[in-house]
Structure 1
């Protein structure tokens, strides 16, 4: 699912106003422009977000999922900007790296260590976890310097460089019937009971929207807030789950679980490093160091896997 920041803003304006007509004043756009944006969101993601009626609009199940996600993203951006401005007052020269959970599972310390040990006047290198949608907006607003995000988000206006594959995989116990498959269709996985990672994660929203586009629902037995807990529940037979491969490698590098590639193109994600063009040259240096460190990490994994 790909949502631009502007699309999420417009969608929330419509939700809060109760109609597209009433949202025109909030969004400073024409009715035709708002209608086109909402229609593009729906058609691009294969779901109906709003039920249109004479008095205005109401949210569908997919619309409720997206509205909840959009509000969380906006709250996270506001919190990031507020916290980072406060931290800047105590340390005026700082470089902020925001990374999603999958990126934080990579060897980022290998990229940071040489920069921290350089002879330059040392800035504060601040690393924080952030959802990809919130990260790109923080970069555009100047609240952050460099971001590591999924290629599912809109990075227009930013310098973006590929860091390698970041696939989503289906996780099942090694004894599960699906464990013997070379790959699996997402719809086949939906026939199983599920363990979901967190109600407020971007991945949870992504998976729920995918299931609604198929006209089905995830049969979730439990939602758990930590990756380690989710994997332990899957290992115990509570259900299956979908996670980034990098998180599984970090938290459960054992033989008790099977990681099965998902056949759909949307699961074949890639990790990007991005930053606003111009400004502090340390942004480019950090991005380059991350690319080098992750390339080395991927090479080592390939050698070990032979």
Structure 2
């Protein structure tokens, strides 16, 4: 079995057809691609695809194989990037990733520590969703990232920095805006705007909270991220649940309120790839507790310390 077999199989599975995958993704002919897939199935020993008139579907074995094939390709990409980084010049370079809006609180204190550890370091910065940041760490595209502890991310270590309470955001002129806390029963009667469409960890926390307090939260609208969710809140009159740091991003026409019924929290973690050889990364990790303390001292936002 060769890597090209895995790439071909993933392309066919994602495109839903041999012809589409051959033309759009692989720059090869359909007969040639069909032979490669048959060779792969022969080596695996079970059918991976069901051929149909309008394309292909995965068998149960194919679905399992797809997950492992994707992971194998990601690991090869990470190994390649790691080798390239090792061969680059020795000037310190650190690539950092943040959840959108989180850099406002954490970046200034992180840069202060960086200046002490490596004054000549070159820094690159990106803001993405938590799953995207986790994949970038696994692929060797980032050195560190501030994100959620994502599941099934091979080789990535998540060091929990804090537990972020969730809060409700709602329009400033909403009938519930005069309250200090939003009760679960009131929340259930309002238009719910999801802020977690691209964050499965946050989504799980919100659903666990809803289940615990006995309500159902079915989103009528879903934002791509917290910023877009708050825009939807302002335009639809709905309510969304977001991590506490989102208070830094509030527009004038949106307010934040605490949740009644036991405040749910979502973990904020510092992620890094276990195989990353950077000495600077190791020095930063050794000062993670100091970083958390500095952020707490400089911010009006109070996190819950991890156990």
2:270 paired residue among 261, 264, 273: 273
SS of the aligned residue for 1:206 comes to helix
Aligned to 2:199, which of 181, 198, 202?
Answer: 202
2:242 is matched with which residue?
243
CA distance in 2 between partners of 1:258 and 1:276 (Å): 35
* Greater C-alpha Rg: 2
In the TM superposition, what whole-angstrom CA distance separates every residue of 1:41-93 from its partner, at most 9, and x where no partner exists?
xxxxxxxxxxxxxxxxxxxxxxxxxxxxxx9xx9xx89x98xx89x979x755
- Give the direction of change, closer, same or farther, for the CA distance of 1:22–1:98 in structure 2 (3 Å limit): same
Matches within 5 A, 1:69-148: 92=89, 94-101=93-100, 103-116=102-115, 122-148=120-146
CA contact (8 A) 2:138 2:153 kept: no
Distance 2:251 2:273 in 1: 36
Residue 110 of structure 1 deviates from its aligned partner by 2.2
Say if 1:152 and 1:269, in contact at 8 Å, map to a contact too. no
Asked whether 1:191 is paired with 2:189, we answer yes
Whether the aligned pair in 2 keeps the contact of 1:160 and 1:274 (CA below 8 Å) is: yes
For the residues of structure 1 that align with 2:227 and 2:61, how far apart are their CA atoms?
Answer: 46
RMSD across aligned positions (CA): 4.9
Cα distance in 2 between the residues matched to 1:258 and 1:101: 18
- Asked whether the 8 Å contact 1:112–1:286 carries over to 2, the reply is no
Offset of residue 234 of structure 1: 3.6
State the match for 2:32 in structure 1: none
Is residue 149–residue 272 contact of structure 1 (8 Å, CA) maintained in 2? yes
CA distance in 2, matches of 1:276, 1:255: 40
- Unaligned residue ranges in structure 1 (runs of 5+): 1-8, 30-70
Distance 1:157 1:125, change over 3 A: same
Q: TM-score, normalised by structure 1?
A: 0.56
Which stretches in structure 2 are left out of the alignment for 5+ residues? 1-9, 15-47, 51-55, 303-307
2:60 to 11, 15, 20: 20
Retained in 1: the 8 A contact 2:205–2:266? no
Q: 1:202 to 1:228 in 2, by over 3 A?
A: closer
How much does 1:192 deviate? 0.7
**Corresponding residue SS for 1:257:** strand
Aligned to 2:163: 165
Q: What count of residue pairs does the alignment treat as equivalent?
A: 239
Greater Cα shift, 238-247 or 134-143: 134-143
- 1:280: Cα distance to partner? 0.9
**Alignment check: 8 A CA contact 1:111 1:293 kept:** yes
Tell me the secondary structure at the aligned position of residue 105 of structure 2. coil
Counterpart for residue 179 of structure 2: 180
In the TM superposition, residue 99 of structure 1 has moved relative to its aligned partner by 1.8
How far apart, CA to CA, are the structure 2 residues paired with 1:28 and 1:237?
41
Q: 1:184 to 1:230 in 2, by over 3 A?
A: same
Q: Deviations over 1:235-255 (max 9, x none)?
A: 5772111222101x2122879
Given the superposition, is the C-alpha separation of residues 262 and 138 from structure 1 closer, same or farther in structure 2, using an over 3 Å criterion? farther
